[in-house]
Structure 1
């Protein structure tokens, strides 16, 4: 299930990049935005499956789940504020910080990948 969750996260990031590039070019992003929202469902479902498959759920998994939901909110806030022509600098900074924390948590928690073998 970890692979499915990671794949859906990569897809969501890919769609976010496509949307931001299209927004910068002044193109219509409505369909891409809906595809990204469908990807959110995959992220949430696979994340819940990972969360509830743990034998005992330590506090760090709760932190990662909350930060994951915040990350999805930041995706939406970046897109919508950019559509309205508002600045998104602080949101990108928050996005970067949350992304790094989630990345580190995802790879260090027991159900994550072991990168160093």
Structure 2
């Protein structure tokens, strides 16, 4: 479990996830490339959740379970907003509210992640 509880592995998975998400947004709606990118993105979601859960369990050693819990919840909400944006784009519905929510939750979650003891401390 120590391998999964690596901050660098978690950051790598969510950076790849964000890149894949923006690639899926840019690709033509309903194209084969977009479907493949979305499938790979969904596998990456699993890796993001697994590494986040491992970091959450490791965060209990720092007696900051509630803050790590908020960060974990924020991560789940980000994944939900990303999926909602892609689904609503496919149905050609408005996505403005979900984009705003995505960026607000992403900012809060990244701030928490970098501020907490297992973060990279460049915000400290």
User: Same fold, TM exceeding 0.5?
Assistant: yes
Find the aligned partners of 1:70 and 1:102 in 2 and give their Cα distance.
10
Task: Tell me if 1:19 matches 2:51.
Answer: no
When the two structures are superposed, what TM-score results if normalisation uses the length of structure 1?
0.93
User: How many matched pairs?
Assistant: 116
Query: Match of 2:104, SS?
Result: helix
Over aligned residue pairs, what C-alpha RMSD do you find? 1.5
- Superposition map of 1:13-92 within 5 A: 13-23=18-28, 27-28=31-32, 29-54=34-59, 55=61, 56-92=63-99
What is the CA–CA distance in structure 2 between the aligned matches of 1:74 and 1:81, rounded to whole Å? 10
Residue 116 of structure 1, CA deviation = 5.6
What stretches of structure 2 of length at least 5 have no aligned partner? 1-5
Q: Which residue does the alignment assign to 2:117?
A: 110
What is the TM-score with the length of structure 2 in the denominator? 0.88
